[in-house]
């Protein structure tokens, strides 16, 4: 995928995230402070403004632009967390005009590692990591299986969904949700839901446009 395609893919992601504000608010209202939908919508409205009509040469620049925008406009925990997802992976990564499935895998694996280091959460803590880790590892696994980008992103989206569903079975160890204790069982995590929405929108775009 070249930089323009990657930009267009994330413009679709941005539309989906902005359109999911109410859905995410409803989820975060149950076991958080209800601000996750608003935060993500603000972040992705910023991303849309930043990416629209802008020419990029390297795919890395698209990631950088998205991450910086989220860090700047979102604020709060999730601004830093989601900003990290888009920026950490490309720090030190060779500039490329096209990304293969393997490149996307390399970048997301690096981001995941940075996020886990920064946020200290691991799978089972009822955070976005529960969706991001399986979705991320689905990418190198897809390369191993010989999948193309469409198949690889579809598999990553499936894995993100599985991780999001898994958060229903967990108690939270981070954020405001931890004060809910056992009452959080049966409810899904808002950040993990966002990760699923992002990967699902990526898969939709490549399915319909590549």
Residues near ligand ADP (CB under 6 A) are 28, 32-33, 35-36, 39, 76-78, 81, 119-121, 127-129, 174-175, 189-192
Contact between 33 and Mg ion per CB under 5 A:
yes
Count, in order, helices (H) and strands (E) of the chain: 9, 0
Contact between 32 and Mg ion per CB under 5 A:
yes
Contact assessment for residue 68 and residue 83, using Cβ atoms and an 8 Å cutoff: yes
Part in contact with Mg ion (CB under 5 A); list of ranges 33-41, 55-63, 65-73, 139-147: 33-41
**Least distance (Å) between residue 157 CB and ligand ADP:** 17
Q: Please identify, using beta-carbon distances, which residue of 37 and 152 lies nearer to Mg ion.
A: 37
Contact between 95 and Mg ion per CB under 5 A:
no
> First vs last Cα of the chain: how many Å apart?
9
Smallest CA-to-CA distance from 202 within 6, 27, 50, 26 is with: 6
| Backbone phi and psi for residue 98, each to the nearest 5 degrees, phi listed first | -135, 140
**Least distance (Å) between residue 205 CB and ligand ADP:** 23
For residues 190 and 96, what is the distance between their CA atoms, to the nearest angstrom?
33
Q: Of ligand ADP, Mg ion, none, which one sits near residue 119, judging by CB under 5 to 8 A according to partner kind?
A: ligand ADP
Contact assessment for residue 147 and residue 101, using Cβ atoms and an 8 Å cutoff: yes
Q: Of ligand ADP, Mg ion, none, which one sits near residue 81, judging by CB under 5 to 8 A according to partner kind?
A: ligand ADP
Q: Please identify, using beta-carbon distances, which residue of 135 and 172 lies nearer to Mg ion.
A: 172
Q: Please identify, using beta-carbon distances, which residue of 156 and 172 lies nearer to ligand ADP.
A: 172
| Backbone phi and psi for residue 19, each to the nearest 5 degrees, phi listed first | -75, -10
CA angle 88, 94, 97 (to 5 degrees): 105
**Least distance (Å) between residue 77 CB and ligand ADP:** 3
Q: Of ligand ADP, Mg ion, none, which one sits near residue 89, judging by CB under 5 to 8 A according to partner kind?
A: none
CA angle 108, 201, 47 (to 5 degrees): 75
Binder of Mg ion out of 35, 103, 133, 159 (CB under 5 A): 35
Which residues in this chain contact Mg ion in the complex, by CB under 5 A? Answer: 32-33, 35-36
């Amino acid at each position: 995928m070249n930089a323009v395609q990657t930009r267009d893919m994330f413009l679709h992601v941005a539309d989906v995230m902005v359109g999911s504000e109410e859905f995410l608010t409803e989820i975060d209202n149950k076991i958080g402070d209800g601000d996750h939908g608003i935060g993500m919508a603000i972040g992705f409205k910023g991303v849309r403004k930043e990416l629209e009509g802008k020419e990029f040469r390297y795919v890395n620049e698209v990631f950088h632009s998205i991450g910086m925008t989220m860090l700047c406009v979102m604020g709060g925990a999730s601004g830093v967390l989601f900003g990290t997802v888009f920026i950490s992976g490309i720090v030190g990564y060779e500039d490329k005009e096209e990304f293969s499935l393997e490149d996307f895998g390399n970048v997301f694996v690096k981001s995941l590692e940075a996020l886990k280091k920064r946020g200290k959460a691991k799978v089972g803590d009822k955070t976005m990591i529960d969706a991001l880790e399986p979705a991320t590892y689905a990418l190198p696994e897809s390369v191993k299986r010989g999948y193309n980008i469409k198949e690889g992103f579809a598999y990553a989206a499936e894995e993100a969904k599985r991780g999001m569903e898994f958060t229903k079975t967990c108690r939270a160890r981070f954020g405001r949700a931890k004060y809910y204790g056992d009452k959080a069982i049966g409810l899904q995590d808002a950040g993990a839901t966002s990760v699923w929405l992002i990967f699902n929108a990526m898969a939709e775009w490549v399915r319909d446009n590549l």
